[in-house]
Amino acid sequence: MSNQQLPEILAAVFREIPNLVFTEQTARRLRVELRPDTLPALLELLKGRAGYLHLSAISCVDWPELDEFELVYHLWSYEVKTLVSAHIYIPKNPGRYVSVYDIFTPAAFFERDIHEMFGVYFEGSPDMERFILTEWTGPPPMLKSFSSLGYVEETFKWEQYSPDWLKEIQANGGGIVE
Amino acid sequence: MTTNIPITSDPNTDIACRTPDMQERSLLRKVIDRIADRCRSRSLFILHYCTGCGAIELPPTITSRFDSERLGIQPMVTPRQADILLITGYLSVKTLKRVILTYEQMSAPKYVVGMGSCTINGGMYWHSYATIKRLQEYLPVDMYMAGCMPRPEAIQQGFLQLIDNIDKGKAIAWQDYYQQYDKYLANQQALFGPDWHTPTDVIAEARHYELFTEKTTGEHTALLAKYASKYVTLQHEEHEEIVK
Amino acid sequence: MRPENYQPVEHPASQEYELYFGPNHPGIEGNYALKVRLTGDEIVGIRADGGYLHRGFEKIMEDRLWIQNVALVPRICVPDPPPMEETYARAVEMIGGLEVPERAKWIRAMILEMSRICGHLFILGGTAAPIGQYSNMFWGVADRDYFLDLFEALTGARVYHMFITPGGVRRDIPDGFLDKLSHILDYLEARLPEYDDLFFNNPVFHKRAEGIGIITQEQALAWGVTGPNLRACGLALDVRRDDPYLIYDKLEFDIPTETSGDVLARTMVRRSEIIESIKILRQIIQHLPQIKGPIRCNLPNPLAWNLPEGDAYARTEAQKGELAFYAVSTGGAKPWRVHVRGPSSMHAVQVLEKLCLGGRIEDIALIMFSLDACPPEVDR
Ligand code: SF4
């Protein structure tokens, strides 16, 4: 998009990475899409040249139709004062990616979290042990194929509750919104 | 000096020195229980275990603004000395295990209070895979406080009601845990797997409190005996039966 | 009598032993556990164990409508819920391209700052408790209640307000609210010297807190520390200043810092932030009556509200640090994905582990409270 508003320091970094597409979403928000193999290089460059010291978060999104996971690295620079969200897509099978722990220490927590919630394995991450779901035996719960409601209905007992006032509302076409 | 100090006493007139007959004994017991209940209801210790978000309303309730200490209610840090297990909201399955462990460590009589709608039917998180829905399936609940989250006034009202119930001898849900242990264990096992066990020998305790009924043991305690035999003392005949 | 299958425990040759710190422990904030390995009282290994408060927020939010989630989000962080609502609302507004009316922005900022004071009062009491100064805890909780009363007058609820909705706020401020607020601010300001005498200038506290749990500037940046904990290392970084949202670019406030980065510095930063928040609230009280207009933009029928496709990353300076929501919409009535970056997700796990290592057991509670680690937002 408009290259003029982009700080020169960022533009220089983006030029180094092949196949990089960026869009300016709103003020101070840059959306960057790139190939998975170039992401560590981008992070390295951003950290080294543009002062992107703060890894705000790593988000994972499950896209079942594409059969891919989207990993989003949100980086903030205290100098440039712009958030760069780097999006990459990795195939669900085998669902492995490299860890960026050596560049950003906070990555360890987010990668660990994504590992237990989505089942993505990060090579080189210091700690892939479970943290939250230590006593969970089911599939990674954040996958779209896992239905929370389905699991609840299987596991827990419900008591039928249909008071008269609710029946009345339902008879008139109202009721609980699904 | 005519003070008459009896040197010996006739054992049949001194209440302390003779064996009361059965009727008298049960009467005595009733009186003492009544006194004990009254004393108990005036000095309650809540176990300090913040299991959910309702815990944020406890500091105002306990400290100077609402001051539940004037009702004789105070927080206590160890389960052994606590009377009330206050479940302050949703329980994840992982926490429920710890809560059951804690509950079994508390000494009887003990009271479970479910605070917030999450303990009643899952509340906000009714379709969450991680939290339990109805507390009373896993632990005997004496009282629920509805609300999300209940206000300090509601908590205090609940405490007053609990005090009243204890005073009148109506807060006896803890006996239910011993009497129907198999039912509770069944629900616990359904959630945690068949090899779930705690280091407390509930069946022996049930016998100790003379609360052993035919529902205390059953097929689920049999599983317990299979997986964790060192924590269960079944009577010899029962064991034979199970082995058969 | 030993059970038949008793097996003696093998004791390692060293004097090391393992201790479970929590989840049911008065020295731990919330429902959280630490597995500590000790020799004597020195910590030689520490491992955080969370998930006791896991509710699967991110999953259940995907099953609900955009508007239904407004009721869900404040419950992510218990002591400081309004920033959660604000951040979620802003993420939705960024995706949907909604324009928040000016008056709503001011009201939102007011709520956020009130909540910041509440959270700080609460955690300052918490910091005092592990060193035995319970009066401060009682005071903090009692003074926080004045603000909860204000919240109640404004929103109808004490803790979870669900007041900030995408597009604005739910209601306008009631009559006389600003007077009440300014009265309480006066009260709190007059009260601070008493807090100083009791706690902040207390030599016992200084002795105990100085030099404990030090984070250096480099470490803070490398470990992803944010919020007051970062400012205690001498870095004046604040999302409100760097990445301004709402009306924070129009307000005048300082970013208080300390230099030593220890427990004492973190506590002192919180104290100064209360003063800054009071300053901000005073400005809001002054300006809010002049700003007229609606308090909410027009929304479609919330039960059939399809947000356009897109994603957004909203950041807020919560009381505990940087809070962020990443929301993805595929054009449906429900979110496709919402990721919550709680401020404590760094502080309560990695930073806490690193700070405690090599320290002594009695400092764990102090360090944890001074980091303001809040387990519910780690577990989500
Ligand atoms: S009832 Fe409400 S306040 Fe209580 S634990 Fe549940 S969600 Fe939280």
| Interchain CB distance below 8 Å, B124 and C72 | yes
| pLDDT over 80 (residue C294) | yes
Domain B30-171 class, CATH top level: alpha beta
Least CB–CB distance from A148: residue in C60, C222, C350: C60
Report the mean per-residue pLDDT for chain C.
84
> What kind of fold does domain A8-144 have according to CATH?
Beta Polymerase; domain 2 (3.30.460)
Show me where the domains of chain B are located. 30-171, 180-244
- B94 C-alpha to ligand 1 centroid (Å): 17
Q: pLDDT digit string (tens) for B45-75?
A: 888 787 878 788 888 888 888 888 888 888 8
Report the mean per-residue pLDDT for chain B.
79
Q: Are residues C35 and C135 in the same domain?
A: no
Least CB–CB distance from B53: residue in C122, C125, C376: C376
Does the CB atom of residue B146 touch ligand 1 within 6 A?
no
Q: Which residues of B touch A155 (CB under 8 A)?
A: 129, 190-191
Find the farthest-apart pair of alpha carbons in chain A and give their distance in angstroms, rounded: 68
| Interchain CB distance below 8 Å, C52 and B56 | no
Q: Are residues C28 and C118 in the same domain?
A: no
- pLDDT value of residue A175: 62
CATH of the domain at C193: 1.10.645.10
Chains contacting C (3+ CB pairs below 8 angstroms): A, B
Q: Are residues C70 and C109 in the same domain?
A: yes
| Interchain CB distance below 8 Å, B53 and C31 | no
- C70 C-alpha to ligand 1 centroid (Å): 15
| pLDDT over 70 (residue B128) | yes
- pLDDT value of residue B244: 45
Does the CB atom of residue B46 touch ligand 1 within 6 A?
no
Please report which helix (H) or strand (E) contains residue B44, including its range: strand B44-47
Q: Band of the pLDDT at B236, cuts 50, 70, 90? A: very low
Does the CB atom of residue B145 touch ligand 1 within 6 A?
no
Closest residue of chain C to B153, computed from CA coordinates: C158
3-state secondary structure of B206: helix
- pLDDT value of residue C13: 55
Residue written as tokens 């004990």? B36
Does the CB atom of residue B89 touch ligand 1 within 6 A?
yes
- pLDDT value of residue B180: 84
Quote the percentage of chain B above a pLDDT of 90.
Answer: 0
Q: Does B92 touch chain A (CB under 8 A)?
A: no
Q: Which residues of A touch C336 (CB under 8 A)?
A: 61
Q: Are residues C370 and C335 in the same domain?
A: yes
| pLDDT over 50 (residue C203) | yes
Q: pLDDT digit string (tens) for B64-106?
A: 888 888 888 888 888 888 888 888 888 888 888 888 888 888 8
Asked, for residue C193, whether it belongs to a domain, the answer is yes
- C13 C-alpha to ligand 1 centroid (Å): 47
Instruction: Give the gap in angstroms from C-alpha B40 to the nearest C-alpha of chain C.
Output: 24
Average pLDDT on C336-351 reads 86
Q: pLDDT digit string (tens) for C40-92?
A: 778 888 888 888 888 888 888 888 888 888 888 888 888 888 898 889 998 88
Q: pLDDT digit string (tens) for C136-166?
A: 888 888 888 898 888 888 888 888 888 888 8
Give the residue, by CA position, lying nearest to ligand 1 atom 3: B149
Q: Are residues C287 and C362 in the same domain?
A: yes
Q: Are residues C78 and C221 in the same domain?
A: yes
Q: Band of the pLDDT at C1, cuts 50, 70, 90? A: very low
- pLDDT value of residue B1: 47
Q: Are residues C42 and C138 in the same domain?
A: no
Q: Among B148, B151, B155, name the best residue to mutate to test ligand 1's pocket (greatest count of ligand atoms within 8 A of Cβ).
A: B148
Quote the percentage of chain C above a pLDDT of 90.
Answer: 0
Domain boundary among C30, C47, C64: C47
| pLDDT over 70 (residue B14) | no
Per the model's pLDDT, the better-predicted residue between A14 and C340 turns out to be C340
Q: Are residues C292 and C210 in the same domain?
A: yes
| pLDDT over 80 (residue C6) | no
Query: In whole angstroms, what is the distance from residue C366 CA to residue C233 CA?
Result: 17
The 3-state secondary structure of chain C, one letter per residue? CCCCCCCCCCCCCCCEEEEEECCCCCCCCCCCEEEEEEECCEEEEEEEECCCCCCCHHHHHHCCCCCCHHHHHHHHCCCCCHHHHHHHHHHHHHHHCCCCCHHHHHHHHHHHHHHHHHHHHHHHHHHHHHHCCHHHHHHHHHHHHHHHHHHHHHHCCCCCCCCEECCEECCCCCCCHHHHHHHHHHHHHHHHHHHHHHHHCCHHHHHHHCCCCCCCHHHHHHHCCCCHHHHCCCCCCCHHHHCCCCCCCCCCCCCCCCCCCCHHHHHHHHHHHHHHHHHHHHHHHHHHHHCCCCCECCCCCHHHCCCCCEEEEEEEEECCEEEEEEEEECCCCCCCEEEEECCHHHHHHHHHHHHHCCCECCHHHHHHHHHCCCHHHHHC
Q: Are strands A29-33 and A83-91 parallel, antiparallel or unpaired?
A: parallel
Q: pLDDT digit string (tens) for C110-142?
A: 899 889 998 898 888 888 888 878 888 888 888
- pLDDT value of residue B10: 54
Positions in chain A whose pLDDT score sits under 70:
1-5, 159, 174-178
- B117 C-alpha to ligand 1 centroid (Å): 6
Q: pLDDT digit string (tens) for B201-214?
A: 777 788 777 777 87
Q: pLDDT digit string (tens) for C235-292?
A: 888 888 888 888 888 888 888 888 888 888 888 898 898 998 898 888 888 888 888 8
Per the structure, the complete domain to which residue C31 belongs is given by: 16-47
| pLDDT over 70 (residue C5) | no
Give the residue, by CA position, lying nearest to ligand 1 atom 5: B89
| pLDDT over 80 (residue B4) | no
Instruction: Give the gap in angstroms from C-alpha A129 to the nearest C-alpha of chain B.
Output: 16
Q: Are residues C155 and C41 in the same domain?
A: no
Quote the percentage of chain C above a pLDDT of 70.
Answer: 96
Instruction: Give the gap in angstroms from C-alpha C10 to the nearest C-alpha of chain B.
Output: 19
- A32 C-alpha to ligand 1 centroid (Å): 39
Contact B64, C142 (CB under 8 A): yes
- pLDDT value of residue B19: 63
Q: Please, which residues have CB within 8 angstroms of residue C175's CB and are 6 or more apart in sequence?
A: none
Q: Are residues C20 and C71 in the same domain?
A: no
Quote the percentage of chain B above a pLDDT of 70.
Answer: 85
Does the CB atom of residue C75 touch ligand 1 within 6 A?
yes
Is the entire prediction scored with pTM above 0.90?
A: no
3-state secondary structure of A135: coil
Does the CB atom of residue B95 touch ligand 1 within 6 A?
no
Q: Are residues C38 and C111 in the same domain?
A: no
Q: Among C84, C159, C160, C161, name the best residue to mutate to test ligand 1's pocket (greatest count of ligand atoms within 8 A of Cβ).
A: C160
| pLDDT over 80 (residue B157) | yes
**Which of A25, A33, A56, A63 is best to mutate for the C interface (most C CBs within 10 A)?**
A56
Closest residue of chain A to C60, computed from CA coordinates: A148
| Interchain CB distance below 8 Å, C160 and B131 | no
Instruction: Give the gap in angstroms from C-alpha C56 to the nearest C-alpha of chain B.
Output: 6
Instruction: Give the gap in angstroms from C-alpha A120 to the nearest C-alpha of chain B.
Output: 20
Q: Are residues C179 and C218 in the same domain?
A: yes
Show me where the domains of chain A are located. 8-144
Q: In degrees rounded to 5, what are phi and psi of residue C196?
A: -60, -50
Q: pLDDT digit string (tens) for B211-225?
A: 778 777 777 777 777
